[in-house]
Structure 1
Amino acid sequence: MQNQLYYGDNLDVLRRHIKDESVDLVYLDPPFNSNANYNVLFAAKDGHQSAGQIQAFEDTWRWDESAARQFAETVESGGSVADVLLAFERFIGHSDMLAYLAMMAPRLIELRRVLKETGSLYLHCDPTASHYLKLLLDAVFGPTHFRNEVVWKRTSTVKGNFGQGSKLWGQATDTILFYTKTDAYTFNQPFNPYSAHYLEGAYRHVEAGTGRRYRLVTMIGPGGAPKANPQYEVMRVTR
């Protein structure tokens, strides 16, 4: 599967088209119950935007027959995911949030199925449901395969939620939950080069002949008695 885009319900696409253990990385940015409708715009054959559009999905979740059916199907399959959904049912009842979680559960199960043993999953969400989704992910992947919670900060708060007279803190962050399928996952740590300004300030000395920058630091053990007075020997000198 290379360079392919699928349009449609991702649960159907996953079950019909994506093989077991065939995916290296999953990033999903599911709807957050934003009470908004999302449309798909079509382009004409000449490349210009067509006036035609369809509603892709309505991000307003309601507990109805469809939600109840999806909830029942997942619970009937048993396992930890079923246990968590039943716990949610006892706690929050047949609510809009339970409808949302019932929609997410089978999709997360399928995403785990298609991940390779070395694969990872990043789920982008907001505080509306992040605490519920983490429990659901713990059930799908196992608590020990939770790796990080990444806090993504916007440059400004959500419009209208922190104006004059507001009675809550500004909502300026989203959450990205990082899980892996196994302990043998691939993680390529990102690095960025130091800026010239930082190098000139932190590494002020230049080695003759090579031009390499370096800095001088104390060799005295830090912390004193609270840190057991650590000592180091260099060139027969102990400090």
Structure 2
Amino acid sequence: MFKKVNILLVVSIGFLVAVLITIPVVKACRLSAAYKKAERQIAAGAYREAIYTLKEIEDNNYKDTAALRLLCDAHIKYDRGQYVDAYNTLNEATFKHLSRAQKKSVDNFKNELKTEFDAYTEWEQREYDRKLALGLPFVGMAESEIRNTSLGQPSDYVHESTAMVDGKAYYSYTYYFLKDGKLIYSARCVQGKVVEIRDDRNKKTGSSRPKTGTSSSEPSVEGFSHPEDFYEYYWEDFFEYADAEDYYYEHGGR
């Protein structure tokens, strides 16, 4: 009886040990198969499919899994013409397990990206300099240049608020340019760059607005036939035109 129990116990333990040994082997085979499949897809230019295959590999540290995903992402961005993003993405990748042929392919792609990246950044700088020479604030201009335009100095009043960028809150600063007491231009800056402008230089209105300071009483919509006229007068009481427009209609404006 006891001998039979001992035999069953030994068999059970042996089976358990075999299972425990087999699990890592099966997992390793599965990882290897997925990795090789992704390599074939990348070689064929099927970058989106390769990304899905690489996602099946739960361990990003397995060989060059993480780097290959970045490589695929860079190729996709490159095909879209997003050369700067593609260049920056590929620069994040570190490869340690490439074959000689794979390394040559990656190096060739890096060289192509560098050529496109350099050409784009040179064009971007020329465009920036061209717009800067026009003398007006523009989207993408450095906030440090806001006082060096042909519009002269902005109003002493700078509207400070917050703006959400990629889920993070940043300070937002809106600068106002006046002429003869009227708003002619405004520029909103976030993270040190102009992100929004409003050009009112050619706007024909009869309303004027205070040059500095905020209005001494609650804004009144009486006497204004349009929300733009209302906003032009009470601009310092509102962050942007949309807020003034809502206020105008909520308080009986027609």
Scaled by the length of structure 1, what TM-score is found? 0.24
Instruction: Looking at secondary structure, tell me which structure has more strand per residue.
Output: 1
Whichever of the two has the greater Rg, that structure is 2
Structure showing the higher helix proportion among its residues: 2
| Higher normalized contact order (CA 8 Å, seq sep 6+, divided by chain length) | 1
